[in-house]
Amino acid sequence: MATVVQLTGAGVSFGGVRALRGVTLPVEEGEQVCVIGPSGSGKSTLLGLMNGRLIADSGSVEVFGQDLVQLTAGQLRQLRCGLAWVPQDLGLVPNLRVLQNVLCGKAGAVGFFGLLRRLALTRMEEAERVRDLLERLGIPEKLYERTDTLSGGQQQRVAIARALYQEPTAILADEPVASVDPGRARSLIELLTREARQEGITLIMSLHHVELAREFFPRLIGLQAGRVAFDEAAEEVSSEKLRELYSMGEE
């Protein structure tokens, strides 16, 4: 099984404050991994290192076998074609239609001008493929609606559709359900883990919802103060370990 992401002694600082310290972990192809921990523990920073938006100042970060520090800007853009990103704010363009936002998933592969052509002159087969994705996600009727008219949960489904339309090897999702209620969060996580599993896509997600992380992810990584507190199968993470993880974060 191929290694998708490999961090070795990776660390990063902001203004002299260590946000991550000596993180070593691999993520293999097809895995579903959830990163948990208290606020400020480094979850978003860890995912930022994995997609090259942040650069490690110690250790190394390899994605698809390539050291991110060694890549040119063009090589990094090419690498990200296989690495879909779902940020906390979803990164959707509010005044574009749902179809156009989903098509943006191919921006890295087709380039800026290629994307403009697709947005202006969408081929029927592309629109049908997007409709099929939205059908799987339960919102096919929203295809031509402006994204800013949708509910928060519907917008999150659009962000998931955009990631899947990219046809990535891996999806990195940073707190993708932070702004919805627990019931809707559960539905969205179930949806994303199912789609990733069916497509053979590696999924790495950070979450505040510990119980949802335990329910849907086979592997949990606990972060505390920028360090890996545990990296274990979900069934091996006891309630005591979780209490310790979060109580340390509150001190």
Angle at 163 between CA 3 and CA 39, to 5 degrees: 75
CATH number at residue 72: 3.40.50.300
Q: Does position 109 have pLDDT exceeding 70, yes or no?
A: no
pLDDT of residue 247: 85
pTM given for the model: 0.89
Rounded to 10°, the helix 124-137/152-165 angle is 130
Task: Say what the pLDDT of residue 113 is.
Answer: 45
Structural domain total, the chain? 1
pLDDT at position 22 is 95
Q: How confident is the model at residue 180 (pLDDT cuts 50, 70, 90)?
A: confident
On whether the CB atoms of residues 133 and 161 are closer than 8 A, the answer is yes
Sign of the C-alpha dihedral computed for residues 192, 197, 198 and 202 taken in this order = positive
> Considering the chain, what percentage of its residues have pLDDT values greater than 70?
91
Q: How confident is the model at residue 250 (pLDDT cuts 50, 70, 90)?
A: very low
Domain limits for position 119:
3-247
pLDDT of the residue at 90: 87
CA 43 to chain centre: 11
Q: What is the pLDDT confidence band of residue 174, given thresholds at 50, 70 and 90?
A: very high
Reported as half-sphere exposure (CB side, CA atoms, 13 A), residue 23 has a value of 38
What's the helix, strand, coil split of the chain in %, to 5?
Answer: 45, 25, 25
Q: Which residues of 200-235 are buried (b: 16+ CB within 10 A; e: fewer)?
A: ebbbbbbbebbebbbebbebbbbbbbbbbbbbeeee
Q: What is the pLDDT of residues 186-222, one digit of tens each?
A: 998 999 999 999 999 999 999 999 999 999 999 999 9
Residues in the chain, how many? Answer: 251
Which of 222, 220, 166, 157 has the alpha carbon at shortest distance from 194?
A: 157
The predicted structure's pLDDT at residue 181: 81
pLDDT above 70 (res 4): yes
Confidence of residue 116 (pLDDT cuts 50, 70, 90): low
HSE at residue 247, side-chain half, CA atoms within 13 A, is 6
